[in-house]
Amino acid sequence: MGLSTRFPVVPRGAGPCIRATLFLLALTVVLAGAAPEPARAQTYAASMCQAVAQSVPGARFASIAPLPDRPGPRLRAAATGEAASADTVTITFVGHSTFRIETPAGVVIATDYAGYSGGGTPTVVTMNHAHSSHYTDHPDPGIEHVLRGWGTDGEPADHHIMVEDVLIRNVTTDVRRWGSGFEADGNSIFIFEVANLCIGHLGHLHQLLEGDHIALIGRLDVVMIAVDGTYTMSQQAAVDVVDKLRARIVLPMHYFSPARLSQFLSGLPDDFAIDIRSDPTMQVSLDSLPDEPTIIVLPGY
């Protein structure tokens, strides 16, 4: 039996404890085999990445605790001979903030899509609007799902959809306005849950991630983060974010030049490995995740 049910509608602005309680109640209904809620409730698939309660059997939970002491950052030889399989996700760095994610079922996702996805028409695109290079007002009409990271009519973007084998959801953050001040919920962190992996694209992140954000994001195995140090957030702030999330794979993006990338790499904690590759495409599965947090640099910026 699949872990999906009709979830109660979560009030906007509800804190992570309320969201977690509602999630756990719905999960209990599923595990007990009870009948679903009436059809008026929205159908949600259960997130495997959110840390909910330590008592849920078989659940895996996010951890932001430091790893044991390890040698300082070092270069790791690029992996070779990788091959896609039924539990493998293929990730290609198209450039800037666009990654092309291909799931085992053949769903193709382009992140921060501004009109170019690095190949044929994707199934899903996500967009953010801090800058015009992260979205388009005229997406290819062949795209089945266009997910904008900003809301309308004063309401934040709220996505939680299942497309074939991937659950896609978002967590909003604020962005700086061009003039002054901030736009509340102007950016979305998009999370892709597929093949037992939790993959997060942080978008045009302008702020540190605090407790509420971490709770809503949950565990991330792969995280894509802008490390330019100017248009998004400082490089030290980016380092703090990846250190807090503790994803096993970190894919830097939006860095404009090798020099800025080097500055980011030089500021990493001692227990992060560095893996510089010559191929913009990589495969990742739950079993292939590195034992320690690893920065994987794919060519292109």
Q: Based on the fold, state whether residues 10 and 151 are members of the same structural domain.
A: no
The span from the CA of 124 to the CA of 42, in Å, is 21
Q: Residue 35 is part of which domain span?
A: 4-45
Kindly state the average pLDDT of the residues 170-185.
Answer: 80
Q: Mark whether 280 and 204 lie in a shared domain.
A: yes
97 and 241 assigned to the same domain:
yes
Phi, psi of 241 (to 5 degrees): -65, -50
Q: Are residues 158 and 285 in the same domain?
A: yes
| 282 and 175 belong to one structural domain | yes
- For residues 39 and 160, state if they share a domain: no
Taking the C-alpha atoms of residue 143 and residue 191, their distance in angstroms, rounded to an integer, is 19
Strand arrangement of the beta sheet that strand 249-253 belongs to:
75-76, 273-276, 294-297, 249-253, 222-226, 197-201, 182-194, 166-176, 160-163
Structure tokens at 149: 């990271």
Joined tokens for residue 67:
């790893």
Domains in the chain: how many in total?
Answer: 2
- Give the range among 51-65, 140-154, 245-259 with minimum mean pLDDT: 51-65
Are 103 and 29 part of one and the same domain? no
Whether the predicted pLDDT of 218 surpasses 50: yes
Per-residue confidence band for 59, with pLDDT thresholds at 50, 70 and 90: very low
Cβ atoms < 10 Å from Cβ of 94 = 20
Q: Which of 84-88, 200-204, 228-232 has the highest mean pLDDT?
A: 200-204
